[in-house]
Every structure is written in structure tokens, then in C-alpha cells.
Amino acid sequence: MTRHISDTASDTASDTAPDTAPDASTDTATDAAPILAGLLTDEGAADPHPLFERARTLGPVVPAGDGLLLVTGYQEAERLTRDRAFGILSGAAREPADPGSAPAAHLSRRIVAASLLETDPPHHTRLRSLVSSFFAGRRIRSFEALIAAEVDDLLDGMPDHANPSGTVDFMEAFASRLPMRVICELLGVPRADRLRFRAAASALTLTLELAPPPDAVAAADQAVAELVEYFAGLAARRRADPRDDLASALASAAHGPEPRLSGHEMLSMFVLLLVAGFDTTVNLLGNATALALRHPLAADELRTGRTPATGFTDEVLRLESPVQYAARVPLRTGLTVGGVPAPLGTIALVFLGAANRDPRQYDRPAEFDPLRTGPQPLAFGGGAHFCLGAPLARLEGNIALPALLRRFPRLRPAGEPVRRRGLMMRGYERLPVTLG
């Protein structure tokens, strides 16, 4: 099993315990190992919640053999994602971050290993500080008009995507287009270039799975090579002609009088921001639309404004988390997770999708209730690695979903949707609808 994952930590709150490994021979570990194996099948990834519930009956944190812990409890997941005593399972431990330091390794792995996804403080802090202002509240709010205009443009064009029977694939016609337009605007990618990145972004995401398909890394290497070539050219153009966009900021940080980024880190940042700004929001929009189709009364209340868009979006993020898991590794000896020993070498799989349905935190956790009160869902992680683009993803959902339902009040499902491959990113490959 290939062990890679995203996200990490903050706020110290670790338990201590004798540094002994979880005993994989115990009944709990024996029971939990098949649950993890089930999650790694296509069937388990398509509907992981029965398996999450089986894990929950064993406890909020359970060993699953091979130095793995399964974390399904909300409180345990929240604490772990914030705890600075735990860090990222870094790709740097498997492959060199500097392309010139070793014989050719997988380019996709080197790019991810140098990114915000797989670095801990202080490197992560340095990298994040260079781009965080572009995702701050005021800057994101300034995108409201642009997002609304892009939404209207895409809704205008949706009938053109209908096949002869009147069916539209929502994922192709809308969900995959809006996030790419928005993140490319933030990056400074010219409009004419934006359609070319969708397949490349999806190819790279697939390699972040616990057990990526055999052909996934080769496809990701090719995709990343194309992205790196493009962004190297864009950075060169921005050095010659700076603008108020992320591309100019990154080019200046890497090539200014006092460089704060290496060239490799700059390209890694470009790729990460493009992919992260695209994929999570694609899943949010698809999952939200699928839930609206299954819950027409809730959809009608969102369309008419009786349910706030923010509450609807939050409940989508809780019930169908676009990112299903993160991973943490102990950075020192003597730690526990929810009372379970976590010696060095342990990998704690934090199932955000399970934590967001923890009955200790949410009443009727499997039901869709846009008026629900309770803690914020853990869909965007926590701590130092709380998703940088979370406010932008929420804003896109809050604007797009009511507009979609107002424009097409008779929107209906038109066939069986197709889930995307893998467990980590939960969403749809195809979501057929009729516009009515």
C-alpha cells in the first residue's frame, strides 16, 4: 500500500503514553484491518459510510495493523489536526524535493513533496505566508461579482451542453468549469488557457490516494510536466510585466532581489494552488447539486431564500465532505491519539467524512438538514493546514447553488450518476440532469 496523504497540524494538545506500538494482533486491530481494506475497494470508496460506522463501533480511534490508526471521532479528529506534535506524512521522506539531487524520480511526487500539502512548519509557514494575503477575507469578497458573472455565463450556456435526449452532464457543463475559471483568475492565467488544465488537475489528485491505481503516477508525471512548463512560462511573462495577481507575486518571490522561494518551490506552489483550488470545489458543487436533487423541499427553500446558502453549503460539506481523509504522523515519542498509543512510524488516518457524522456531535448525523446547528464540519481540515482556499470554495458554493436552482427550478436527475474513482476525493465523475 502506498502511504501518502495531505494536510497537517497546529495547537499543542497531545497525550503522552509509553512509546509502544499498537498491537496489531489484538481483537480490535483484527476487526479494523478488514474495514480499511474494504475502504480501498471501489465499492467501499463509493459508499464508505457503512464501513465508517463499523469502525465507529470499535471506538473513535482504533488500530488497523501495519502501524495504522483509523480516526472516526469528531473530537479526536479535530484535536489531531490541530496538534503540533503531529505532522504530515511527507513525500520528501520517499523522494528528493530537489530534482537535481538524485536520479530522475517521479516529477509529480517531487512537486507535491515541496508543496504546502507535505511540508510542516517552519517551511510550511514560510510558504503559506507568501500567498495567504490572496486568500484573506477582503480579497476573497472582492471576487463576489466575478463569481456571480461567471455563474451566470455558465448557466446561460448549460442548454448548449444537452444531448439529443435533453440530458446535461452537470459535472462537465458547470461544476468543473466554474472553479477552474475562478482559480485561474486568481492566479492570473489568461482566459484562453483555462480549459486545458482540468484533466491535468484530476490526474494529479488521483496520486494522493492511499492506494493509487498502477497507471496513476505515470499519468500524473505527464500532467505535472505540462503544468510546470506552462507556469514557468507564465512566471517569466509576469517578471517582465508584473500584475496584481498570484503569478506575479510568486515570480517576484522566486526571482526578486531577495528570493524567498526556490524555482522548484515556485512551480510547486503554482501546481498546488491550481489543483487544490479546482478539485475540492468541483466536488462541493457536484455533491451539493446531487443532494438538492434528492431533497427537493430543501432545494426549494434554498431557491426561494428561506434557507440561507451558507447553511446549505455547510451541511453539504458535513454530509458529503469533498475530502474524506487526511493523515498525521507523530513527530516525537510518547504520544497517543484518543488514548491509543502512537509511536514514531504510526500513520493516523483521519477520516473527516466519518468525523462529520459522529453521533456524539450531531443529532441524526446521516440526515441532510440545512438548518442544522452544531460545530463546523471538518471538511477543510484544521490547524496549520486548514485549507487555504476554504473561504473561496464556500463563496463559490454560496453563489452558485441558489443561482442554479433559480435559473432551473425544474432541474431533475436524468440517469444514474457516476462516482469518481478513489476514496480521498468524494464527488462525481458524471451527474446527468435535465434542466426542465
pLDDT for residue 28: 66
pLDDT at 31: 80
Percent of the chain exceeding pLDDT 70 equals 89
> Which amino acid would we find at residue 404?
L
pLDDT tens-digit map of 380-435: 999 989 999 999 999 999 999 999 999 999 999 999 999 998 999 999 999 999 99
Q: What confidence score (pLDDT) does residue 213 get?
A: 81
Average pLDDT over residues 142-159: 97
The mean pLDDT of 178-191, rounded to a whole number, is 95
CB neighbourhood size of 210 (10 A): 21
CB 55: neighbour CB atoms within 10 A? 26
Q: Is the pLDDT of residue 254 over 90?
A: yes
What pTM value is reported for the model?
0.89
User: Which neighbouring-strand residues pair with 328?
Assistant: 348
The mean of the pLDDT values for the chain is 89
Q: What CATH fold (topology level) applies to the domain 15-434?
A: Cytochrome p450 (1.10.630)
What pLDDT score does 30 carry?
67
Distance of alpha carbon 35 from alpha carbon 272, whole angstroms: 31
For the segment 266-276, the average pLDDT, to the nearest whole number, is 95
Cα atoms in the Cβ-side hemisphere of radius 13 Å centred on 168:
22
Q: What is the pLDDT of residue 207?
A: 85
**pLDDT at position 295 over 50:** yes
Q: What is the pLDDT of residue 208?
A: 86
Domain boundaries, the chain: 15-434
Kindly state the average pLDDT of the residues 35-39.
95
Within 196-269, strands assigned E span: none
DSSP assignment, residue 377?
P
